[in-house]
Amino acid sequence: MSALEEGADPEIEDPKSKTSALTIARLRNNGPVAQIILDRILLNAADSGNHDKLVWALNEGADKDAKDPEFNATPIILASLHGHERCARELKERGAALDIKDDLGLDAMDWALHGRHSGVVAILKS
C-alpha cells in the first residue's frame, strides 16, 4: 500500500524547493504517481466541498470516477454524502457514473437520500 493510499497529504510540498509532490511526479515523468495524486486531490475536494479545487483537479486530468481506497467511494458519492451541491452538479455534468456503489453497497443517490440532501437528490435526478 502506498503512502497516498494510507492517507498521506497529496498536496505536500518539498520544504526546500516548495515543489509539490504532483509537480515532482510530473517532472520525473511518473504518470501513474501523478494520477494517484490528482485523484486523491479530487476525492478530498469532493469530500470537503471545495468546488474550485475539484474543478482544478478535473481539468488537470483527475479521474471523475476515482475510488477512495478506504470505502471505494467515488467523488460523486462523497459530494452526495455531505450534501455538496456544486460539487455534485459539476461531477454529474462531467459525466461521473451515478451507478457505482461503494463498499457498503450504496451509490450517490442512496447517500443523498440518507442524508436528506434534497438539493443533491434533485441534481442527481435531473
| One pLDDT digit (tens) per residue for the chain, 126 residues | 455 555 556 665 555 655 566 655 555 565 677 788 889 999 999 999 999 999 999 998 999 999 998 999 999 999 999 999 999 999 999 999 999 999 999 999 999 999 999 999 999 999
pLDDT at 19: 53
- Domains in the chain with CATH codes: 21-125 (1.25.40.20)
**Full-model pTM:** 0.80
Contact 121, 109 (CB under 8 A): yes
